[in-house]
Structure 1
Amino acid sequence: MIAHVRGVVEHIGLDSAVIDVGGVGYLVHATPGTLATLRLGATVTLPTSMIVREDSMTLFGFADADERDVFETLQTVSGVGPRLALAMLAVHTPDGLRTAVANEDHKALVKVPGIGDKGARRILLELGDRLGPALGGGTQAAPAAAGSRADVVAALVGLGWPAKQAEAATDEVIEGGAVDAEDTGAVLRAALQLLGGARRG
C-alpha cells in the first residue's frame, strides 16, 4: 500500500496529476479542490489511497489524511466505489459529509452525481457514525481547479453530469455575472451548487 507520495508536480490535468518521485511519474487521481492546491514544478506530499483491481492499480491523492480517511470509509458502504467516493468529496468537504450524516440530510448527498434519493438514504443509514464528528470545516463544496470554461465543463462531466447539463450550468453561471468568469474555481463551485439545486428540485 502506498500511503503517500512526495515529489515534483510534473503535470496537472482535469481529474489527475503526475507526481515525479525519484524519476518515476505517478498518476494520481484527485478532486478539483486537491488539484487546485498543486503548482507545476513544486514539491508536494500527497496522502494517497491505492485501489487494486484484477486488471488495474489506481492511485488517489488527497489534500490531507482526513480526506483520504473519509474516502476510504465511504467505500465501506455497499455500492460506493472509488469514483463515487471521489465525486462525493468533490462536492462536499469531509466535514460537510459528516454534517450531512449527523443531520440525516439526504438532500445534501443527492447533490452528488450518481446518487439518487433512495441511494442517499441508504448511504446515510450505512455510514452511521463511521465518519466521526465534524471538525469544523462546514458544508461548503470543495474548491475547484483553475482553467477555462471547457475545463469546468470537463470537470463536471468527469464528476458524472451529462455534457449538455454541465455546459448549460457553466454558461448560466458565467452569464449571470455573480462570479468572476476568469476565476474558474468560483465558476465550478457555483455550477456545482446550481446543479445540486436542480437535483433537489
Structure 2
Amino acid sequence: MIAQLTGTVLTAGATSAVVDVGGVGFLVATTPQTAAGLRPGEVATLHTALVVREDSMTLFGFAEPAEREAFELAQTASGVGPKLALAIVSVLAPGELKRAVLAEDLNRLCSVPGIGRKGAQKLVIELKDRVLVLEDAPGGPAPVAAQDAWRAQVAEGLQGLGWSARDADAACDAVAHLVDADPDISMALLLRAALNSLARR
C-alpha cells in the first residue's frame, strides 16, 4: 500500500498530477481542489490510496489525510467505486459528508454527479454509523494563481467530475463575483462555490 508520496510535481492537470519520486513518475488521480494546489517544479506531499483492480492499479492522492479517509470510507458503501468516491470527496469536504449523512440531507448528497435519490438514501443507511470518524480537513490550498486562469481551471475541474461544458460555464459565471471581491480566493473555495451553485439549479 502506498500511503504517501513526497516529490517534485512534474505536471498538474484538472484532476490528476505526475509526481517524481526518486526518478519515478507517479500518475496520481486527485480532486480538483488538490490539483489546484499543486505547482509544477515544486515539491509536494500527497496522502494516497492505491486501488488495485484485475486490469489496473490506480493511485489517488489528497492534500489532507482526512480527505483520503473520506474517500476510502465512501467506497465501503455498496455501489460506490473509486471514481464515484472521488466525486464525493471533490464535492463534499469530509466534515460536510459527515453532516449530510447524519442529517439525512439527501439533496446535499444528490449534488454529487452520479448520485441520485436512491443512491443518496443508500449512503445514509450504510454510512450513518461510520462517518462519525470523519473530521474536517484543515487549511486550504494556494490562492488562485492568475485572474484569467481561474475560469479554465474551474471549468476543467467541473467537467472532470462529470458536469457538461455548458453547466461548467454557468457555474463560472455564478462565482465570478467572488474573484472580483477577493482576487486571492483559493481555488478550493472557488470550486466548492461553483459546485454549490450547480447543486442549487
Which band: TM-score by shorter chain? 0.7 to 0.9
**Matched residue, 1:135:** 135
Q: Give 1:194 deviation, angstroms.
A: 0.7
**Matched residue, 2:172:** 170
**Matched residue, 1:65:** 65
TM-score (norm 2): 0.85
For residues 108 and 23 of structure 1, what CA distance do their matches in structure 2 show? Answer: 42
Percent identity, aligned pairs only? 51
Give RMSD over aligned pairs: 2.4
Change (3 A) 1:144 1:44: closer
Change (3 A) 1:131 1:195: same
For residues 186 and 73 of structure 2, what CA distance do their matches in structure 1 show? Answer: 30
Equivalent residues in 2 for 1:1-201 (5 A)? 1-133=1-133, 135=135, 146=144, 147-174=149-176, 177-180=177-180, 185=187, 186-198=189-201
For residues 37 and 49 of structure 1, what CA distance do their matches in structure 2 show? Answer: 18
Answer yes or no: is the 8 Å Cα contact 2:46–2:62 preserved in 1: yes
Q: Deviation digits for residues 89-108 of structure 1, max 9, x if unmatched?
A: 11111111111112111121
Answer yes or no: is the 8 Å Cα contact 1:32–1:145 preserved in 2: no
Deviates more, 1:144-153 or 1:125-134: 144-153
For residues 133 and 5 of structure 2, what CA distance do their matches in structure 1 show? Answer: 28
Answer yes or no: is the 8 Å Cα contact 2:31–2:90 preserved in 1: yes
The one-letter code of the counterpart of 1:77 is A
Answer yes or no: is the 8 Å Cα contact 2:10–2:19 preserved in 1: yes
Structure 2 gap segments, 5+ residues each: none
TM-score (norm 1): 0.85
Q: Give 1:115 deviation, angstroms.
A: 0.9
Q: Which runs of 4+ in 1 moved over 4 A?
A: 142-146, 181-184
Answer yes or no: is the 8 Å Cα contact 2:70–2:134 preserved in 1: no
Q: Give 1:44 deviation, angstroms.
A: 2.2
Q: Give 1:157 deviation, angstroms.
A: 1.1
Answer yes or no: is the 8 Å Cα contact 1:143–1:189 preserved in 2: no
Answer yes or no: is the 8 Å Cα contact 1:71–1:86 preserved in 2: yes
Change (3 A) 1:100 1:137: farther
Structure 1 gap segments, 5+ residues each: none
Answer yes or no: is the 8 Å Cα contact 1:87–1:113 preserved in 2: yes
Q: Secondary structure at the match of 2:135?
A: coil
